[in-house]
Structure 1
C-alpha cells in the first residue's frame, strides 16, 4: 500500500514498485460496470520507481484535481485535469510533501492536503498558491499518519490516522481524528482501529464510513451533534478482496458507498444497508500490478473519475455512477 511505499521512500529513497495484481480474484455478485480510460496523467518517476495518483476532487471552476503521492521535489504534486479536453497540467508543488488526499473546505474554499510523511495538514489557495501549514504536531501525545480527509458541513476536518498499518504484530493503533476548522483543537473521535484509510460522511452527515485497511472491512461510526462524540460504532460491510486491501471510499447522493482498493483495479459499490450493488472494473495494461485507490463523482452529475496507478504510470478512468455526486463524493 502507499503507506509502506512512503515509509520506504522516506527512509531510504530506494527505487520501489507497487505490489499486488490488478487482475485478482473473480468479481463478486452485483452488476458489472466497465470504466473507460480518460487520460494518462503521470509517468513512473525514476527517483521513486513509481507514481501513485490519489485524492481526486472537483473545484468550484469544474476542474478535477489529483495528487501524485510519490512525486519528487519540484515535480507536480497536485495536478489539474480538464476532463473535457483530457489535458493535465501542473497545479502545485513543493520540496518535501507526500500528499495522499485533497479536499476543498466548505468553510474557506481552500484546498487541504494530508502529508503522510510529516503528519501535517497543508492548505493552498484555490488557484494553487499560498501554501500554509494548517496543523502539525502530536494528537493526544502521538504523531499522526494522516491518509484521507473528510469535511463536515461547518468545515471541521475528519482525518483517517492510519498509524499501525505496517505493524507486523497486528496491533490496532489507528484513529479517526477531528480537527476544528480553525486548526486550534484536535480530538481523537475513535481509536484502536485497524489502520483506517478511507473516510467519508454518509449522505446526511450523521456518521462516517471508515475503510479499515488491515481488516478489509468498512465500519460505520455514528456521531452526536457535537461531532466529537461517537453514538454507535460497528463493522458495516466485510469485503472479500483476496490479496487486495481496502483503500479510499466515497459516497453518492443515494448514500451508496464506493470502495476502492490497493492491489486491484476495481471499485465495489454497496448500498447503505450493506448490499453489494455493483463492481466497477478498470481495464489496465497487461504489464504488472495496478491499484484503483480513489474516485470523485462530479457534483450534480453521475460521471465518476477513478485514479488508477501501476507500472505504466498514473491514469484517470471514467464511468457512470449509480447516483449523482455530492460533497462526500469527492474522494478525500
Structure 2
C-alpha cells in the first residue's frame, strides 16, 4: 500500500483528495516598536493528556485538528485523515483523557470545527470536498451548509471563524498542491446563501481568527510563513489589509490561529510539535513545546483554551499518533480560542 506522508499535505492541517486515496522570532518591526520593547520570550512545556489515534492503515497517517470545548467542558477534536467508518470526530473527557467516538461518515475530511453563535450547531470544514457541513450539538443530523464554487472557483475550506451574528469567515487554501498564490478569505452569510471573497492571491491560507474585539481577522499563509491582518467595518467589508507578523519557523509552517482574551495570538506549527505565541503588536511572547523525549510528533496544529479559564488543549500529531497536550495559556479563553 502506498503510504501518505505529511509532505503530501504540503504542511497544512488538511487532507487532499489524493491523500485520502493513498496517493522564532518575528521580523520586520523597527527597534523602537511596541514589539521590540515587549517582554522576553519564554518556553512553556506542554503535558501529555491523551493519545487518541494511531496512523490509519488506509491513509498511512493521522492528523488531529479543530479542538473545541462544549458547554460541559468536554473536548471535541477532528481526525482529518480518518477513513470512512472510523471516528472523524472524537469526544475527550479532559479529566481522564479518555476518548470516545462522536461522529463518523463516509465522506468528510474535516480540518476544523466550531460552534455557531447563531444556531448552536457544530460547523465543520471539509477540505477535500469543498464543503462546509453542520452537526447537531450532540452529534448527528449532518447537513451540508455550503458547497459549490465561489467567484467561479471551487473552495478548499481549511479553518473558519464566526462573527457575533453567525456569519462565517473561511480560509480557502486554494493553490496548495500547485504552490501558487490562489488562496482566499471568504465570507459566507449565516444562511449559507451568499459567499463573498474578502481577500485573494494568498499563499495557501490556513489559520483564521477574529481579534478579541471583532475589529478584524488574523489569518496565516502556510507557504509564506506569515500572519496578516484584515480590518473590517461593521458590515464585514474590508477596510485595510497588511502583513502583521513574519514567523521564523525553519522547516515548520504556519497552521491554525487562536486568540485569547488579551488579544494574544497562538500560532500552530506544522512540521514541529510546537506553538508560537505573539502579542497583538507582533512580539514573540512564548513558545509552547512538547518535551523532546516525546518522539514521533511532527505537528501542533491548533489549540482550545477554556472559556473564562487558562487551561489549554493542544492537538499534536505525527508517526507516533494523534495526541492532546495541555498547558496554561497566557490569558483566559474566549470564543476566538475555542475551535476554528
> Could you say which TM-score interval applies, normalised by the shorter chain?
over 0.9
Counterpart residue number, 1:204: 213
Q: Indicate if the aligned counterparts of 1:285 and 1:312 stay in contact, CA closer than 8 A.
A: no
Counterpart residue number, 2:106: 95
Cα 1:50–1:26 change in 2 (3 A) is farther
Counterpart residue number, 2:35: none
Structure 1: gaps of 5 or more residues: 15-24
Counterpart residue number, 1:322: 330
2:163 corresponds to which of 123, 147, 152: 152
Structure 1 residue 175: Cα displacement: 0.4
Q: Indicate if the aligned counterparts of 1:265 and 1:284 stay in contact, CA closer than 8 A.
A: no
Cα 1:5–1:156 change in 2 (3 A) is closer
Structure 1 residue 2: Cα displacement: 4.1
Cα 1:4–1:209 change in 2 (3 A) is closer
Counterpart residue number, 1:68: 79
Counterpart residue number, 1:246: 254
3-state secondary structure, aligned to 2:48: strand
Matches of 1:5 and 1:182 in 2, distance apart?
A: 27
Counterpart residue number, 2:234: 225
3-state secondary structure, aligned to 1:214: helix
Q: Deviations over 1:162-205 (max 9, x none)?
A: 1011224xx31110001111111111111111111000000010
Counterpart residue number, 1:299: 307
Structure 1 residue 4: Cα displacement: 7.6
Counterpart residue number, 2:16: 6
Q: Indicate if the aligned counterparts of 2:217 and 2:230 stay in contact, CA closer than 8 A.
A: yes
Matches of 2:321 and 2:255 in 1, distance apart?
A: 19
Q: Deviations over 1:245-289 (max 9, x none)?
A: 000010000000000111011111100011111111012556545
1:114-193 map, 5 Å: 114-168=125-179, 171-193=180-202
Q: Indicate if the aligned counterparts of 1:299 and 1:324 stay in contact, CA closer than 8 A.
A: yes
Cα 1:178–1:145 change in 2 (3 A) is same
Q: Deviations over 1:53-92 (max 9, x none)?
A: 0000111222110000000101000100110121110000
Structure 2: gaps of 5 or more residues: 1-10, 28-39
Structure 1 residue 243: Cα displacement: 1.0
Greater displacement, 204-213 / 27-36 = 27-36
- Figure out how many residues of one structure are paired with residues of the other and give that number: 318
Q: Deviations over 1:110-156 (max 9, x none)?
A: 00000001100000001101000000000111000000010000010
Counterpart residue number, 2:90: 79
Structure 1 residue 8: Cα displacement: 2.5
Whether 1:47 and 2:61 are equivalent positions in the alignment is no
1:195 corresponds to which of 197, 204, 229: 204
Give the superposed CA RMSD: 1.8
Matches of 1:26 and 1:258 in 2, distance apart?
A: 14
4+ residue runs of structure 1 moved beyond 6 angstroms?
25-29
Cα 1:268–1:287 change in 2 (3 A) is closer
Q: Indicate if the aligned counterparts of 1:4 and 1:166 stay in contact, CA closer than 8 A.
A: no
TM-score, length basis structure 2: 0.90
